[in-house]
Each structure stands twice: as C-alpha cells, then as structure tokens.
Chain A
Amino acid sequence: MEVQLRLLRFDPETDTEAHFEDYTVDAEPMDRLLDCLHQVKWHQDSSLALRRSCAHGICGSDAMVINGVNALACKVLVKDLQQPITVEPIRGLPAIKDFIVDMEPFFAGYRAVQPWLITDPSDREPERERIQSPEERERFDDTTKCILCAACTTSCPIFWSDEAYVGPAAIVNAHRFIFDSRDRGASERLEILSQHDGAFKCRTAFNCTAACPRGIKVTKAIQEVKRAALFESF
C-alpha cells in the first residue's frame, strides 16, 4: 500500500528553520514506521538523519513525535497510524538535524538523581548475594524497565517550558533505587528531588505515562516519589 509521510526536516548547514516535506513510500500495514523512514533514507533522500539501532523497542534510540504523540518509530505500525503520517523530533531538547536532538540535557537530569545503587559505606560487601524477597523485588519492578528513550520527559509540558526540571525519566530512575530494599541512598535522592527542579514540578498531566513505550506507570512512580519525600516512607 502507498503511505504518505510528512517529515519535519531541518539541516543546520543549509536551513534557517525547520519545514515539512512530503514523501510517498510503499509499505505493508504491519510495517513499522521505522521501515518507512528507512525507505525514504535508502531510496529517496539519503540525507534524512535519525537515530535507530535495535528496531524492536529495546534500545530507545528512535523516540519521535508521531502524529502529534511521542512514540518509538520502531514500535508503531503503519496500520495504526492515520495518514499522512507526520513525524517531528521530540520536543524540549535542542533540535540538531531532522529527528536528531541533543540528548545531553536529558542525561544530565538522569545523572543528577544519582541513579546507581548506594550502599552504606560501613556495610561489608556480602560474600553471597544480598537477600531480597520476591515482594521487595516486585516493589520497584516497573521502573527497572526504563530504556532512557526520553519519550516521557519530552512529552511533559513542564519540561517543555523549563529545561532545568529533571523530568519524568530521571524521577523514574530515582524511584527504581528509592524503593529497592538494598539501597541506602533514598534520603540523598529525595533531598535532590525535593529541590526546586525536582519531583514537585510535576503537575500530573499523565503525558509521560501515555508516552512510555515500555508501559511504565510513570506518573504513579513520580507520585510515589513525592509521597516518599513528604512522609519519608519508602
């Protein structure tokens, strides 16, 4: 079948501003949008710039605004998209070229919440594994699924207007440790997240939850972090 695409193009070396260009490709209903973009790149205009790698929703490279909503180009199928399919870069991060944005501010927000296991310095490294019950493990299961694709953070209206906000993905990754029974860094992280650019900037728009390609209940995780910060229960 013929598929109509409207792609927001921007070449920093020649363009002063972004503009839509139309393309027609031949695709199957079960094809991924990424397959259509490859068709453009490989057979029509080789200068089209995008990031992609695994092509099945695991590596998190190809988050884009597809028909107005954030999704991974490799995880939405042609049959589920209204035509013409419009594709734009994710918002709130500096656009570099076509669908490529500067990811550094996103990763800076991630690093700010100390997303690594923090143990008590006085604790001796155990000889075997630390004991953690299946229930304790289940407590943070949802937020371990994050692939750092930025679909959630760049769907957040607060993040669009205020880049200093750490954003949903950073809070998700903080949640993954705050609620891990083996971690001892919750109070440090909650202090960071209680500051001006932290979790309380969230206004529960739920865009993040809708955008997450991994099905993580992002808003719920953010609310749990807020509650932990207020009541010190985790």
Chain B
Amino acid sequence: MAIRHHQFDAVIVGAGGAGLRAALESGQRCKTAVVSKLYPTRSHTGAAQGGMCAALANVEEDSWEWHAFDTVKGGDFLADQDAVDAMCKEAVDSVLDLEHMGLPFNRTPDGRIDQRRFGGHTRNHGEAPVKRACYAADRTGHMILQTLFQQCNKHGVEFFNEFFVLDLIMLDGVCCGIIAYEIGTGDVHVFHAKSVLFATGGYGKMFKITSNAHTLTGDGPGVVYRKGLPLEDMEFFQFHPTGLYGLGILLSEAARGEGGILRNADGERFMERYAPTIKDLAPRDMVSRAEFFEIKEGRGAGPKKDYILLDLTHLDPEVIETKLPDITEFARTYLNVEPLKEGVPIVPTAHYAMGGIPTNVDAEVRSDAAGGIVPGFYSAGECACVSVHGANRLGTNSLLDIVVFGRRGGINMAEYANENKFTPLPENIHEQTEKWLQGLMDGDSPETQAHIRQKLQEEMMDKASVIRTDESLTRVQYEIQGLRSRYARARVKDRSKIFNTELVEHIELGFLLDMAEALVVSAKARTESRGGHYREDHQLREDDHWLKHSFITRGVDGATELTYRPVTMGRYEPVERKY
C-alpha cells in the first residue's frame, strides 16, 4: 500500500449535516478538507424525516425558552442547560439560514415556513402539544443534506470521498491530524492538520433492529476511545417507537404529529394510560417502553403478538399522501401494508446515540470529566455529546443539533487553525496503522466477521436495549468479551487493494464492539432509570446519586474506567417527568 501525505489547516471527518455545515464555515476561513467514508449525499442525515424544531411561532405562539424546557425535560434533566439554551436560542436563525440557502420548507398559506407537532414539544411547559417542527414533507433530513451539499459545491469545498478514518494523530496531547484509508485504492493517507473535527454519526448497527444505515458503526468515537480519550453518556441510546416490524426502518414521529395513533391488539389507544396529557406524542423513550410493556403483557398485535399498530386510517388521505409520502411508501414497499386502510406493524427500533465524544458548547472535545480539552480537536453531530439531549433526545432536535453545533465547530476549528502553527509530524507516523492493516490480512482464521456481527447485534438487542437489568448487562458484557477475542483472531480473506469492502466492514465491526463495550459498562454502573436508560431492577430516577454524566475510558491494559461530571444546571430543577 502506498502512503500519501496531505496538509490542510482544518480536516473534517464525515460529510453528513454536521460535517457539511462545519465545512461551510471552515472552508471560507482556512484551507479545509472533508474526509468521508461515503459520498456526502449518502450520509444518514438524508434519512431524517419529520422536521427541525425552532420557535419561529409562525403557526402558534411559541418561545425558545419553552423549547429549551421541553428539551431539558425530554432529556430527563441530564442535558447541560447552557448547551440547551444555546441550541434553542440559535434554532430560529439556523432554520432561517437554511431557508436562505434554498431549503424548500413546506409553507403556510401566507408563504411562511410551516410548522407541525412533534413528540415532547409543548406550549408553556407542558400544557399541550405545540406546532414547532419546520419541515419539508417527510424528507426534511434529505433536504438539509442536499441543501448543504449544494452550498459546499457552490463554495468549492474539497472532498475526499470514500476515505475511511482509522486514527487520530495526537502529539503531546495536541491533535495534529488523522490517518485515513482510501477505499478505492487501498492507500493510506496522512492528513496533517492544525484542527480536526469528527462528525461521523452514530453506531446503531450494534443492535439487530435499527433505523441506522449499515455504515453507522461508530468509527469516530471508536478512534477516540482507542486513543484513551473518554466517551460520555454511552448508556443512553434511543429506541424510536415506530420502526417497521422486522426491519427497523423508521416511520417518522410526524405520523403521530399529523394525528396518527398507536394501538395494541385490542385496538386500544394505550398511550392514554401512559401519558394522559400528550398521549401518542410523549417522548420516544416513554413510548418505546410503553410498547415493550404492551407486548410483554400479551397485548401485542399479529400472529405472534409481537408488534404494535400505527393507525393512520382516520387521517385525510390527502394529508398522508402530501405530508407523509415517503413513510407510506416504506410501509407499502417493505411490508405490503396499505396505511390508508390498515394499521402499520411497528416495533421500537435502535435509533440514536445520545452519548458520544464529549464536547463543550464550542464543539471543543473534552479530555476528561474535570474540564480539560484536547487542543485542536472538535466534534459535532450524533457522534458528539454536548450534551443537549441528556438521557433522551426529543424528535427533530438531532437536525437542529447538527446545524447549530456543526456551525459552531466549523467556526471555532478555523479560528484555532488560523491562530496556531502546524506541529511537525514524525516521519513514521503512518507505520502503526500500516502494520495493523497488514496484520488483518495476514494468515487464515475460521472466525468470520458476519457471525461475530450477527451475535453482537442479537445479544445487544436482547440484553441492552429498551429494558436492562444488572443480570442482562452482566451477561452481555461477558458475551462481548468473548466476541472481542474471536474478533482479534478473525482475518480478512479478501486481499485486494481496490474496494476491499470486506476490510472496511471488518474494521467497522471492531468499532462496533468498542461502542458496545462502552455502552454496556456505562449502563451496568448506572443503577437508576433515566430517559433511554431503563433498569428494571432500579426503576426510579435517582437525582441524589445520578444527576451526572458518565465518562468512560479504556486504558492500554484494556481495563475500563468510569468517572463522572456534574450536569450543568440552569433555570430548570429536576421534577417528576409526567406528560
């Protein structure tokens, strides 16, 4: 394999919404490269459907403070309130920015950006659902991704597409670039940089049923974890209540925002029992748990009584066809179900990682739980944990997160690059990576990555998903250890250089195993229930002990260590979370 060298002031890894938004800022301030495993338009931002919340108050009275309250409460009071304030305040300008870039939002009769209801978003601190989500049919994420990609092309952003990040270059605690693998050639590229931003997305592929793309394998957080740097709040993983049965493909919460209702086998609107005020529009963690209990207690629909029905049959067909065209097509294509006439079978699906690479509100990466930062290193989007989502993200806040913190990250990384000099790199900086890659393709092994991946996904779904106990987590932790040693023995059979996608998938699996370990260890330690982390053996939230963020690190000896950082509080004191 050839070794190639590049030098850029700023290098952004990942070309979804956060990476592209950062590139637009950084690219206009300093020499910037975007390094992406996929062509930018393949990024999973494009799969986001329902909307992006901002208190524009175009349709109903609203304020950014109400949005902030809902975000904090939705996150079960674990979110850092300074970060939430920043995000909800900037939300309005972020939406207007996107409109100015050309994003085709749906419009009100008087030509302004239309807004609709979404789970957990309420007027005046929980009184009733509010119309806050700005949207473009049910392809809002697609339109954000396309619009940002259009703008990057307009501004001549330099892309390295189908380059897979393998390592972060750190010298004396300072970030100095990355090492990446060019999938099309098998070459190793050293990107020398003054600042680096990771925007690599999530890692839902550790679960069997997920809305996530095949490529969402936690590459960025995986690289960080291997560097001995911490990951934050890894135990908090969101299960979206409406994934297509058996497949996990997402059906937007907008379906319920437009009036859709969840029903059990008896046809009962069961959310009335769990969240009497906002019912089907309760936050996702609560709805997913409610579904789990309905199924567990024998009220699931279908021959195996193992799914819930999303009922849209009472809606105006015009609304379904114009405001929810994609998701109705998913139901028709993949389940052969006609949503105009019958309920759509759905189950909770692994959807979103609240945890990730710890950052502050300036997208600077934290080096520890105490308040240190890694000079020159930034992160934004799902792979980061600011934390604005706390223990459970509200619907639409991910699209908001990527544009707000992508923008902040892009500005700040460029400022840092313009104020600092390149740290010279040792000549052999690539050697370890090269040796590692060669080792993966050296010799034979009966172990196959497909079996390890499948086992991981089944175990995580079974023991570390919507409901967890000490016992289930202990067992899955043991399984992961076993899978890790099997993985260490496995080898890549394909030895080709050009598009060796077996090698790519092999490395991705390694990152997934790291993410699974970090999730399970963090979850086992947290003996309370909060947001997306529900412990059947510790069902209550315990603010006295657990109003704090988990920071997990893995030492060179492989031992994990947990430290904690207090939540940044603000206007909202924790109260019981009722809807």
A12 and B185 CA atoms in complex are apart in Å by 11
B457 close to chain A: CB less than 8 A: no
What's the minimum C-beta distance from B496 to chain A, rounded to whole angstroms?
5
Assess whether B501 is in contact with A50, with CB atoms less than 8 Å apart: yes
What's the minimum C-beta distance from B534 to chain A, rounded to whole angstroms?
27
Query: Considering the complex, which residues of chain B in the window 392-451 have a beta carbon less than 8 Å from any beta carbon of chain A?
Result: 448-450
Assess whether A129 is in contact with B502, with CB atoms less than 8 Å apart: no
Assess whether A54 is in contact with B107, with CB atoms less than 8 Å apart: no
Closest to B44 in A: A54
Assess whether A97 is in contact with B502, with CB atoms less than 8 Å apart: no
A121 close to chain B: CB less than 8 A: no
Closest to B494 in A: A47
A136 and B112 CA atoms in complex are apart in Å by 12
Name the B residues within 8 Å of A140 (CB-CB).
Answer: 104
Given known A54-B213, A129-B96, A131-B111, contact A117–B41 (CB-CB < 8 A): no
Query: Considering the complex, which residues of chain B in the window 478-537 have a beta carbon less than 8 Å from any beta carbon of chain A?
Result: 492-494, 496-502
A20 close to chain B: CB less than 8 A: no
Assess whether B493 is in contact with A46, with CB atoms less than 8 Å apart: yes
Assess whether A54 is in contact with B153, with CB atoms less than 8 Å apart: no
Assess whether B104 is in contact with A137, with CB atoms less than 8 Å apart: yes
Given known A13-B498, A46-B502, A100-B499, contact A56–B109 (CB-CB < 8 A): no
Assess whether A177 is in contact with B104, with CB atoms less than 8 Å apart: no
Name the A residues within 8 Å of B95 (CB-CB).
Answer: 129
Per-residue 0/1 for B104-133: is the Cβ within 8 Å of any A Cβ (1 yes, 0 no)? 111111111100000000000000000000
Choose from A42, A46, A75, A96 the contact partner of B499 (Cβ within 8 Å).
A96
Count A-side interface residues using an 8 Å CB cutoff: 58
Assess whether B499 is in contact with A97, with CB atoms less than 8 Å apart: yes
Binds A, one of B76-84, B329-337, B376-384, B465-473: B329-337
A1 close to chain B: CB less than 8 A: no
Given known A96-B499, A129-B96, contact A117–B102 (CB-CB < 8 A): yes
A201 close to chain B: CB less than 8 A: no
A46 and B493 CA atoms in complex are apart in Å by 7
Choose from B42, B100, B153 the contact partner of A61 (Cβ within 8 Å).
B42
Assess whether A75 is in contact with B150, with CB atoms less than 8 Å apart: no
Name the B residues within 8 Å of A55 (CB-CB).
Answer: 213-214, 249
Binds A, one of B135-143, B232-240, B557-565: B135-143
A111 and B106 CA atoms in complex are apart in Å by 26
Closest to B246 in A: A30
B315 close to chain A: CB less than 8 A: no
Query: Considering the complex, which residues of chain B in the window 304-350 have a beta carbon less than 8 Å from any beta carbon of chain A?
Result: 326, 330, 333-336
Name the A residues within 8 Å of B501 (CB-CB).
Answer: 41, 49-50
Closest to B336 in A: A30
A111 and B154 CA atoms in complex are apart in Å by 9
A157 close to chain B: CB less than 8 A: no
Given known A144-B136, A145-B139, contact A117–B150 (CB-CB < 8 A): yes
Assess whether A61 is in contact with B38, with CB atoms less than 8 Å apart: yes
Name the B residues within 8 Å of A177 (CB-CB).
Answer: 102
Given known A53-B42, A133-B111, contact A47–B502 (CB-CB < 8 A): yes
Name the A residues within 8 Å of B150 (CB-CB).
Answer: 115-117
Assess whether A49 is in contact with B104, with CB atoms less than 8 Å apart: no
Assess whether A56 is in contact with B334, with CB atoms less than 8 Å apart: yes
Choose from B102, B143, B184, B213 the contact partner of A183 (Cβ within 8 Å).
B102
Name the B residues within 8 Å of A51 (CB-CB).
Answer: 42
Assess whether A180 is in contact with B104, with CB atoms less than 8 Å apart: yes
Choose from B214, B450, B496 the contact partner of A13 (Cβ within 8 Å).
B496
Per-residue 0/1 for A47-76: is the Cβ within 8 Å of any B Cβ (1 yes, 0 no)? 101111111111111000000000000010
Per-residue 0/1 for A177-214: is the Cβ within 8 Å of any B Cβ (1 yes, 0 no)? 10010110000000000000000000000000000000
What's the minimum C-beta distance from A118 to chain B, rounded to whole angstroms?
9
What's the minimum C-beta distance from A19 to chain B, rounded to whole angstroms?
17
Assess whether A49 is in contact with B499, with CB atoms less than 8 Å apart: yes
B39 close to chain A: CB less than 8 A: yes
B47 close to chain A: CB less than 8 A: yes
B151 close to chain A: CB less than 8 A: yes
What's the minimum C-beta distance from A107 to chain B, rounded to whole angstroms?
8
Name the B residues within 8 Å of A148 (CB-CB).
Answer: 41
Closest to A107 in B: B39
Name the A residues within 8 Å of B136 (CB-CB).
Answer: 144
Query: Considering the complex, which residues of chain B in the window 87-107 have a beta carbon less than 8 Å from any beta carbon of chain A?
Result: 95-96, 99-102, 104-107
A147 close to chain B: CB less than 8 A: yes
A183 and B154 CA atoms in complex are apart in Å by 14
Choose from A54, A77, A115 the contact partner of B333 (Cβ within 8 Å).
A77
A216 and B111 CA atoms in complex are apart in Å by 25
Choose from B96, B102, B496, B500 the contact partner of A180 (Cβ within 8 Å).
B102
B477 close to chain A: CB less than 8 A: no
Name the B residues within 8 Å of A115 (CB-CB).
Answer: 150, 153
A132 and B106 CA atoms in complex are apart in Å by 9
Assess whether A59 is in contact with B41, with CB atoms less than 8 Å apart: yes
Closest to B249 in A: A56
Choose from A42, A49, A111, A131 the contact partner of B450 (Cβ within 8 Å).
A42
What's the minimum C-beta distance from B89 to chain A, rounded to whole angstroms?
16
Closest to B184 in A: A96
What's the minimum C-beta distance from B252 to chain A, rounded to whole angstroms?
12
B46 close to chain A: CB less than 8 A: yes
Name the B residues within 8 Å of A137 (CB-CB).
Answer: 104-107
Given known A55-B214, A77-B333, contact A116–B154 (CB-CB < 8 A): yes
Assess whether A147 is in contact with B142, with CB atoms less than 8 Å apart: yes
Name the A residues within 8 Å of B215 (CB-CB).
Answer: 53
Name the A residues within 8 Å of B111 (CB-CB).
Answer: 131-134, 136
Per-residue 0/1 for A135-150: is the Cβ within 8 Å of any B Cβ (1 yes, 0 no)? 0110011001111100
Given known A13-B496, A47-B494, A54-B44, contact A133–B107 (CB-CB < 8 A): yes
Name the B residues within 8 Å of A111 (CB-CB).
Answer: 153
Assess whether A144 is in contact with B104, with CB atoms less than 8 Å apart: yes
A176 and B497 CA atoms in complex are apart in Å by 39
B359 close to chain A: CB less than 8 A: no
Query: Considering the complex, which residues of chain A in the window 141-165 have a beta carbon less than 8 Å from any beta carbon of chain B?
Result: 141, 144-148
B43 close to chain A: CB less than 8 A: yes
A147 and B145 CA atoms in complex are apart in Å by 10
What's the minimum C-beta distance from A112 to chain B, rounded to whole angstroms?
11
Query: Considering the complex, which residues of chain B in the window 35-80 have a beta carbon less than 8 Å from any beta carbon of chain A?
Result: 38-39, 41-44, 46-47
Contacts A54-B46, A59-B44 aside, 14 further interface pairs with beta carbons under 8 A come to A30-B335, A46-B502, A52-B214, A57-B330, A59-B213, A60-B42, A116-B154, A117-B150, A128-B96, A129-B96, A129-B100, A137-B105, A141-B104, A144-B139
A contacts, CB < 8 Å to B: 11-13, 30, 32, 41-43, 46-47, 49-61, 75, 77, 96-98, 100, 103, 107, 111, 114-117, 125-126, 128-134, 136-137, 140-141, 144-148, 177, 180, 182-183
9 smallest beta-carbon distances between A and B, as pairs: A117-B102, A42-B450, A131-B111, A116-B150, A116-B154, A46-B502, A53-B213, A47-B494, A59-B42
Instruction: List 7 contacting pairs A-B, 8 Å CB cutoff, sorted by A.
Output: A55-B213, A59-B213, A117-B150, A137-B106, A144-B143, A177-B102, A183-B102
